[in-house]
Amino acid sequence: MGHRALDEFTHAYIEAALFTESAESPPSGGQPLDKNYGESDITDESLAVIDAQCEKFQQLYGDVIDAATCRQGQYSNREMAGHDFWMTRNGHGVGFWDGDWSPQDLADQLDEGAKKFGEAHLDVGDDGAIHYEDPDYDRSLRAAATTTRYSSGGGGVRTHCGRCGAALQFAGAGGMRCPVHWYDYK
């Protein structure tokens, strides 16, 4: 893989994703992915996007995670935060908001931050590998990039992802790329 070694936050995020997603969609649900699949079944491309999103959340909210207290004592704050990042962004019945994090104002910041990333899903592809999907980002990012003028350092323009607020990076041929979602703006 061409990305950093996964940290405990990201491992917990993936564990929560595999636990909540299913390989089939019958009316009764389906088998959770973690029954038959593991982290090693996720494509490298998908792991890179997961890693980038988890890294970005920690960059934005790491100080809040460290300042808060999580009552789930058998796990570190970073592990619980990775788990709750997945659960909250996908609207599951647990997450930063459910009372395990305190003080409440810090839990609220984490909850709001996770929701800004929108929903994401895992899916087993025809190749038998697990792919990471974010069905809303393509549409929402295309319409939501924002440009900010700034005056420090001689002035300039900075363009930000409308979904997560990350500063876009140059991606060749005059395009820009969100370092969190890996979406290319043209």
pLDDT along the chain (186 residues), means of 10: 76 97 68 92 90 92 95 90 97 93 96 92 91 63 48 59 71 71 61
* pLDDT number for residue 139: 43
> Which sequence spans correspond to the domains of the chain?
8-133, 137-185
Going 19 to 27 to 119 to 180, the CA torsion angle's sign is: positive
Residues belonging to the chain:
186
How confident is the model at residue 91, as a pLDDT?
94
* pLDDT score recorded for residue 143: 42
Residue-level pLDDT at 144: 47
20: nearest Cα among 100, 120, 104: 120
Output the pLDDT for position 84: 97
| Contact yes or no for 136/87 (Cβ under 8 A) | no
pTM of the model: 0.72
Please work out, in degrees rounded to the nearest 5, the angle formed at the alpha carbon of residue 138 by the alpha carbons of 137 and 143.
95
Q: What is the pLDDT of residue 2?
A: 44
pLDDT for 146 = 55
Residue 26: asked if its preceding bond is cis (omega within 30°), the reply is: no
pLDDT for res 163? 63
